Amino acid sequence: MKNIIYFIISLFFKTFNRLRGIFYKLKLFDQVKFDVPVISVGNISFGGTGKTPVSIELVKILLSYNFRPAVIIRGYRGKLEKKGAILSYGERILLDEDSAGDEAVMIAKNLKIAGVFIGKNRINSIKKAKDSGFNIIILDDGFQYRKIKKDIEIVLFDHEDRTPRREGLSSLKRADIIMIRNGIHDKSIKKFLDRNIYEYRIEPIGIYDGNDRLLKENVSGKKVIAFCGIANPAKFLETLNSIGLEVVNFVRFSDHHRYTRKNIKKMESILIDKNAEFLITTEKDMIKIKNLKARYPMYYLKIKAQFNEKFLKYFENTCIPLFIQNEAQI
């Protein structure tokens, strides 16, 4: 039944996006071009490819070249998603997760000297970022946002991702850069190998508590209760297993789930029943539950995107000079 629902959802979005693409190709819809570089990071599925950690690492590269980057993100399910707001000017976080959404707060928390602007209308967000002095834009989940003319279109692709697709493989022809997770691809993507295709990985970097303190003890072999509300929970479980944790129970919630104290109590009951040592979740989920007091230890797994040398050389030798040239012309 679940597969049938996924098929219907995917078919609807693929048809909608294909028709919209035709209208843009015929120039029946206008695109807005900004005089600051816009780098889009997106995918063709509904999530689970690691857009957020990839965006974070790209911003870090831009910061190392003294750009003032701003991340433009929808702020999905935040109270200010429709209205739009400034989450961070690059100094401090101005809004909570309830107002700005979990992914946006996670980005702001990891990029304390970059701007983060939220809102469904990404054009307005870019205007605000420009007016605030930011000179380069990372457009999070921007592949389907055709209203904006991007300077670089980066699309993440994970062959193992089983979430519904918003667009077909043929849409990858619009990408300037295709990034393949773990370098794994099937025959269906070989037709796009004339494009700039690189490998990326999402790697664990440590286990942290709710106050962002690193757990220094060896966790290999420890029994844990894992839970998450993300698009691709299987990847989270796979990563926990890879670092040696013994996941004795895994609780899946819907993506962007809003946790309650009742949810935490349920997990604590399972922990007692299974004689586990602690609860563990994702960084995105911890942002939503850190204020829901737990009676037992609760941690999150921190991850980061890793780019291969080939991509780093291309981005730094080809893309960065274009951005610098663009800035000089403004």
Place of tokens 């980005």: 107
pLDDT tens profile 13-31:
778 778 887 777 777 788 9
More confident residue, 210 or 188: 210
Token pair for 202: 């999402």
Report the percentage of the chain scoring pLDDT > 90. 74
Return the pLDDT at 5: 65
What pLDDT score does 10 carry?
Answer: 75
| Best CA proximity match to 304, nearest among 226, 206, 198, 183 | 206
- Cα–Cα distances (Å) from 270 to 38, 129, 249, in that order, read 46, 45, 8
- For residue 228, the cross-strand partners are 252
Confidence of residue 2 (pLDDT cuts 50, 70, 90): low
pLDDT at 193 over 70: no
For the chain, the residue count is 330
What was the pLDDT predicted at 3? 59
Mean pLDDT value across residues 253-278 = 95
DSSP three-state, residue 23: helix
pLDDT-derived band at 266, boundaries 50, 70, 90: very high
Taking residue 201's Cβ as centre, other Cβ atoms within 10 Å add up to 15
Interstrand relation of 278-282 and 298-307 (parallel, antiparallel or unpaired): parallel
The stretch 263-282 carries a mean pLDDT of: 96
| pLDDT confidence tier of residue 53, bands split at 50, 70 and 90 | very high
Rounded mean pLDDT, 192-218:
90
Nearest partner of 105 among 133, 125, 85, judged by Cα: 85
Kindly indicate the confidence band of residue 169, based on its pLDDT and cuts at 50, 70 and 90. Answer: confident
pLDDT band per the 50, 70, 90 thresholds, residue 159 = confident
197, 180 Cβ separation under 8 angstroms:
yes
The pTM is what? 0.92
Average pLDDT over residues 147-170: 89
- Work out the end-to-end distance of the chain between its first and last CA atoms, rounded to an integer number of angstroms: 54
